[in-house]
Amino acid sequence: MKYRVPAVSKLRRIAESGELLSYGPNLLDATRRLAYFVDRILRGATPADLPVEQASRLELVVNMKTAAKLGLTIPPSILARADEIIE
């Protein structure tokens, strides 16, 4: 905010704490999948035999408070795609 530079990251909690927006995987879903893989390994599966996965759903969070402080207008097309808008 000091230098009026909009920032973007992949972590939702960063947008919730004041960043302009975030676009990345849902960490709750990722944690659930992690637990699944840990369980498989603890039951004897070889890690090399487990499939590699990537997030199937990404979420977009827009912080309108930050946009207003920076004097930015977020296009309606971005707001329409957002999973959450922080007012």
Q: Residue ranges of the domains in the chain?
A: 8-86
**Average pLDDT, rounded, for the chain:** 92
* pLDDT tens figures, 15-32: 999 999 999 998 888 888
- What's the predicted TM-score (pTM) here? 0.78
Three-class secondary structure of residue 57 per DSSP: coil
Q: Which residue has the higher pLDDT, 3 or 79?
A: 79
Bridge partners for 25 per DSSP = 58
CA trace torsion 43, 48, 51, 57 (10° rounding): 90
* pLDDT tens figures, 41-63: 999 999 999 999 888 889 999 99
d(CA 13, CA 59): 12
